[in-house]
Structure 1
Amino acid sequence: MILENLPVDYGDFLDRIKSEIRLARFKVNLSANSALLQIYWQIGCWILHQQNRSEWGAKVIDKLSQDLRKEFPDMQGLSARNLKYMRQFAAIYPDPEFVQAALAQIPWYHHITLLDKVKSHEERLFYINEAHKNGWSRDVMVAQIDSGYFKRKGKAISNFSSALPSPQSDLVQQITKDPYIFDFLNLTDLCQEKELEDALTDHVMKFLLELGAGFAFLGKQVHIEVGDQDFYIDLLFYHVKLHCYVVVELKKGKFMPEYAGKLNFYLSVADDQLKSENDQPSIGLLICQDKNGVIAEYALRDLSKPIGISQYQLIDSIPQNLKASLPSIKTIEQEIGQAKRSPRKQAR
């Protein structure tokens, strides 16, 4: 690439970057994430400074990329596009100590995703911490961003603050979401509770990912016996970080106050029959298709056991542009009815 009217100070600037890259590569292996982020951040700062001081045009970055890749042919990440990300990275995070301490927790391509998809500084920091804490791959982080995890985490209606001591109540609240997104299920809103339960356990790894880090699946329709009667817990988990059992009940349709009472009963039994002296009090999570927040708050007000109430959403995987061409449920039912009424031809 030949760029006419190259800035007068471009040659010195290029030599300085080459020298700094050589020094960084000599001191540490750039595969170490912290060192890689540091040099990327520094290059971004230099580009910002030069552009502000010399009014460089955008094409200078293209030339810079070409020259750097020529000098360091075995080094990845020196494309013009990546240099622009470095500039954006440095502009958004001007504090070098913050880059070293907080941002080095996740790889560079995670940061690129955040630069592209997340505009809020608070939200970016949230995903940085969550990705580091939970060991998210880039694809998993993208899925969490797309599902609005930042706005859903810790949002269940609960009585945790009154049923549990602080700070445990805050920790328990943070493991909840509202709503839970079951976009990995090939179901419709017409499915029954058992179908939903079966589908979640068939996709238990994805279900655990949606629940969040720390949940260990113990079983579905877990049998408990009380007063010579049999009862069955929909889904039973153990939270390895909170050291407690988590009883999950799934409900179709709208939330009803009696659901909370039944879950409170299950938690009493779980604390008596399952919980050991080393475990924390069992937690209940009621996930229903729809809830009225006021009714849910009243239902939980005087219950003694810690319970959270959330909604779930089944995301329709059919693209919007195809829905118009598909027959409705009513049409299908009518056609099936007509077929049943029509005389069948005898096989010859």
Structure 2
Amino acid sequence: MKAAIDKIAYNQILDQAITQIREARIWIAQQINRSSNTIYWNLGKWLFEKKLEEAHGSSIVKQLSIDLRNEFPDMGLSPRNLWNMKRFYQRYHQADTKLQQSVAVLPWRHNLLLLQKVKEDVEVAFYKINTPTLQNILTHTAFACHRSTNPLLCRFSMAMS
């Protein structure tokens, strides 16, 4: 005997399923980002602790990159990215724990943008909370929205750009 289901009940089931799948995907992406960023953090820490600088440690970092890429060719372990990992560690190793946890779940490309474009931890926290996409980080940075006394005006300016 088949049970009949009305359109409203069906839509509720569908909406719940979609919501759960989306939430799970976000959670999975954050876990992947957190794991990747932990690896990047540790690599950056090791470079920092060995006091390697781009001018004097470049041959060591180049060789490290070659060896790591031979073992893990799909991880983006170029010399440039290894130096970025060091900068990532330098930037946040003395930061507030909440800020460290915030950047830990961001995609690596967002962290790189924040390293390039944003100088203060307060700004990083603002962009982490208020900008879900890479494009928004660039736009917000251009408008210095973290300093705006009128967030509506800032959003309007961004919308008009």
In structure 2, which of residues 139, 152, 155 is the aligned counterpart of residue 176 of structure 1?
152
Q: What is the CA–CA distance in structure 2 between the aligned matches of 1:182 and 1:100, rounded to whole Å? A: 28
Partner residue, 1:101: 101
Alignment gaps of 5+ in structure 1: 1-28, 157-174, 186-348
Specify the code of the residue in structure 1 equivalent to 2:85: M
The one-letter amino acid of 2:59's match is K
**1:214-225 correspondence runs (5 A):** none
Question: Match of 1:76, as an amino acid?
Answer: M
Q: Which residue of 1 aligns with 2:147?
A: 151
- Which amino acid letter does the alignment assign opposite residue 146 of structure 1? A
The answer to whether 1:36 aligns with 2:20 is no
> Which digits, 9 at most, give the CA deviation of each residue in 1:172-218, with x for residues without a partner?
xxx53358316646xxxxxxxxxxxxxxxxxxxxxxxxxxxxxxxxx
Q: Deviations over 1:62-119 (max 9, x none)?
A: 221111101212x322011111110001011115955762222321110100111111
**Using the alignment, how far apart are the partners of 2:32 and 2:49 within structure 1?**
26
**Distance in 1, Cα, partners of 2:99 & 2:37:** 8
Name the amino acid aligned to 1:176: L
Higher strand share: 1
Find the aligned partners of 1:51 and 1:87 in 2 and give their Cα distance: 10
Indicate the residue corresponding to 2:16 in structure 1.
none
Deviation for aligned residue 1:30: 10
Q: Does the CA contact (< 8 Å) of 1:38 and 1:99 recur in 2?
A: no
Deviates more, 1:109-118 or 1:139-148: 139-148
**Residue type of the partner of 1:44?**
G
CA shift for structure 1 position 59: 2.7
Superposed, which structure 2 residues align to 1:157-236 within 5 Å? 176-177=152-153, 180-181=156-157, 184=160
Larger Rg computed on CA atoms = 1
**Percent identity of paired positions between Structure 1 and Structure 2:** 28
Counterparts of 2:93 and 2:108 in 1: how far apart (Å)?
16
Q: Give the equivalent residue in structure 1 for 2:83.
A: 84
Superposed CA deviations along residues 141-193 of structure 1, whole A, max 9, x for unmatched, are: 212211222122xx23xxxxxxxxxxxxxxxxxx53358316646xxxxxxxx
Q: 1:121 to 1:100 in 2, by over 3 A?
A: closer
Q: CA RMSD in A?
A: 2.9
How many residue pairs get matched? 130
Instruction: Summarize the alignment of residues 68-79 of structure 1 with structure 2, pairs less than 5 Å apart.
Output: 68-73=68-73, 75-79=74-78
After TM superposition, which residue ranges in structure 1, 4 or more long, deviate above 4 angstroms?
95-100
1:40, 1:116 → 2: CA distance?
17
What CA distance in whole angstroms lies between the structure 1 residues aligned with 2:156 and 2:30? 39
Contact 1:34–1:100 (Cα < 8 Å) also in 2: no
Q: Which amino acid aligns with 1:124?
A: V
Q: Deviations 1:226-252 (Å, cap 9, x if unpaired)?
A: xxxxxxxxxxxxxxxxxxxxxxxxxxx
Matches for 1:1-348 after TM superposition, within 5 Å: 32-51=32-51, 57-73=57-73, 75-94=74-93, 98=98, 101-131=101-131, 136-152=132-148, 155-156=149-150, 176-177=152-153, 180-181=156-157, 184=160
Q: What does the per-residue CA deviation read over 1:291-338, in whole Å, with 9 as the maximum and x for residues that have no partner? A: xxxxxxxxxxxxxxxxxxxxxxxxxxxxxxxxxxxxxxxxxxxxxxxx
